[in-house]
C-alpha cells in the first residue's frame, strides 16, 4: 500500500516510546505467552527495557482500572491490555468479555492515550494457544505505531496538544 499525499506512514520505530502493559493472570499459561511475545517484539522494535512497565492483575475485569491508573500518570505513550477469556458453560463469558472491552476502550478515550486491547476471547483453550505468538507481536506493533502516530499528530495538528497545555 502506498501513501497518498498528506498521509502519515506507519512508524514502527520504538526508540523513545514508553509502554505500560497490564497482564491478567487468569489463564496464566496463555497470558504469559502473550507477554513473552509482546515484550520480545517491543524490544525488537527498539523500545528500551526501562521504558516498559509490566504489571499483572487477577483477571480481565481488573485490567481497566490498572490501565486507568497508568493513563492518569501521563508517563506512557501507549498501553497494552493482555488477557485470555475462554468460553465456559455459563453467560459469565459474555459479561467478562463485554465489560472488559468497554473498560479498556473507555480508558483510551478518557485519557487520550492509545490502549491496545489484546484480551483474547475464544471458545476453546486451543484457539487461544494458537493465537499467542501472533497476537502478542500484534499488540507490540500496534502500541509502537499508535504511540508514534499520536506524537506525530500532536506535533502537526493545530490545537492537538492545547488540552495538555491548559492542564499545566
163 within a domain of the structure (yes/no): no
pLDDT of residue 158: 79
pLDDT above 60 (res 2): no
Tell me whether residue 3 is in a domain.
no
C-beta atoms surrounding 42 within 10 Å: 28
Establish if 13 belongs to a structural domain: no
Residue 161 has pLDDT above 70, yes or no: no
Catalytic-role residue among 44, 69, 92, 102: 92
pTM of full prediction above 0.85: yes
Q: What are the beta bridge partners of residue 56?
A: 23
Confidence of residue 89 (pLDDT cuts 50, 70, 90): confident
If one counts the domains in the chain, the total is 1
Distance CA 152, CA 164 (A): 15
Is residue 111 flagged as an active site residue?
no
What pLDDT sits at residue 167?
53
**For residue 133, what pLDDT is reported?**
98
- 78 near 115, Cβ under 8 Å? yes
Average of pLDDT values for 38-49?
98
CATH code of the domain in which 126 resides:
3.40.50.960
**Is 4 within a domain?**
no
114 close to 143: Cβ distance less than 8 angstroms: yes
Distances (CA, A) of 75 to 16, 54, 61: 12, 13, 23
Mean pLDDT, the chain, integer: 92
Q: What is the mean pLDDT of residues 120-142?
A: 97
Query: What is the domain range of residue 91?
Result: 19-150
Place of cell 493465537: 131
Amino acid at each position: 500500500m502506498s501513501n497518498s499525499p498528506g498521509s502519515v506512514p506507519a512508524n514502527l520505530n520504538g526508540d523513545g516510546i514508553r509502554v505500560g502493559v497490564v497482564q491478567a493472570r487468569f489463564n496464566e499459561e496463555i497470558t504469559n505467552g502473550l507477554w513473552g511475545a509482546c515484550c520480545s517484539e517491543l524490544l525488537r522494535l527498539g523500545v528500551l527495557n526501562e521504558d516498559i512497565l509490566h504489571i499483572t492483575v487477577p483477571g480481565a475485569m481488573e485490567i481497566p482500572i490498572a490501565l486507568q491508573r497508568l493513563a492518569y500518570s501521563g508517563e506512557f505513550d501507549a498501553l497494552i491490555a493482555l488477557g485470555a477469556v475462554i468460553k465456559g458453560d455459563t453467560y459469565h463469558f459474555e459479561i467478562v468479555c463485554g465489560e472488559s472491552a468497554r473498560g479498556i476502550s473507555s480508558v483510551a478515550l478518557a485519557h487520550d492515550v492509545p490502549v491496545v486491547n489484546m484480551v483474547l476471547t475464544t471458545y476453546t483453550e486451543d484457539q487461544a494457544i494458537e493465537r499467542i505468538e501472533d497476537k502478542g507481536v500484534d499488540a507490540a506493533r500496534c502500541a509502537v505505531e499508535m504511540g508514534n502516530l499520536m506524537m506525530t499528530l500532536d506535533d502537526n495538528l493545530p490545537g492537538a496538544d492545547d488540552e495538555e497545555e491548559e492542564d499545566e
